[in-house]
Amino acid sequence: MQNKLFAHDSVNVIIVDMLPMFRLGMKTTLENLSYVGNVFEAQNEEDAKLILLNEKISILYLISRSTGINPFSLSIDVMKDYPNTRLVYLSITDDEDEIIKMVQLGIDGFISKYVDLLELDQSIRTVLSNSKYFTPEISNIIAKKLCAKGGKVNANIELSKDRTRDVLFLLCHEFSNCEIANQLCLSHRSIEYHRKKIYIMSGARNQVGILKFALRNGILEDENLLQKWARLLDAKFNTFEISN
C-alpha cells in the first residue's frame, strides 16, 4: 500500500556527484522505491541548477567530495532559490568540520557512505515530513564535536527554557517551522536553530523520536503550555475537523 505522503505526486530526485559510477549505483538503488519518479544526475553545480530550473525536484542528494563540487555554496543557493527542495548530504569522508558546517547551514538530512535502500527510504520519508534525518553515525559525530567545543546541549538546562519548551510543544502538535516562527515572533532561522538543538539533545532521528522525548519529559502534559497554546490548538484542530 502506498504511503499517503506519496499518494498523488512521485518524488523526483537529483544526485549530485562528480563520479558517474557512484551516481549510477545510487540511482539504481533509488529506482527500487515505488514512489520515486525521475532520478536526475548532475556532475557539478551548474548541472544541478539547470535541472532545478526545469524540473520539480523533491530531494537533492549531495555527495561530499574534496574537489569538483563546493557543497556549501550549492546548499546555500538551493535553500535560497528552491525552499521546497530538501537537501540530504551523503558523507563520504566523515570530515567532522564539514559535517558541523553543513548542520549549521540548515541541511535537511545526513546519511553515511554505507547507505542502503532502507536508509534511503527512511531519509526520504523523514525529510519530506518536514523533519530532520541523521543517521546514528552522523548524530554521534555532531554530539562529539559539540562536546569537544564546549557546546554540549544539556537537556535539563534546555528544557528549563520557555522558548525551547514552546518550540518542542508546537513541533509535537504538527506545527511547521513557519507557523512556529509566526507565533513566537522569531525568524525561520531561529526556529530551525531551536529545532536542531532539540534533535541533538533528544537523540531523536525523526518526529516520532521527538514525540517520545516530549512525553518522557512531561512537555505534552504541562498545564502552563496547554493553557498558553489552548486557543491556537483549538483553532488548528477544529479547522481540521470541519475540513474533513
Kindly give the confidence (pLDDT) of every residue in the chain, 244 residues in length, as a single tens digit, with 9 standing for 90 and above: 344 555 447 899 999 988 888 889 889 999 999 999 999 999 988 999 999 999 999 998 887 664 567 788 888 888 889 989 999 988 776 677 777 778 777 888 888 767 788 888 888 988 888 777 887 677 767 666 655 554 445 566 567 678 888 999 999 988 988 899 888 887 776 787 788 778 877 878 788 888 888 998 889 888 989 999 988 888 876 654 444 4
Which residue is it, cell 530526485?
A: 13
Q: Please state the domain extents for the chain.
A: 4-147, 155-243
Residue 37, φ and ψ in degrees, nearest 5: -90, -105
> For the whole prediction, is pTM greater than 0.85?
no
Distances (CA, A) of 88 to 11, 211, 219: 14, 23, 30
Strand 86-91's sheet: what is its strand order?
A: 36-42, 11-16, 59-63, 86-91, 109-112, 133-134
Tell me which amino acid residue 41 is: E
We find that the CATH architecture of domain 4-147 is 3-Layer(aba) Sandwich (3.40)
Class of domain 155-243: mainly alpha
Beta bridge partners of 41: 15
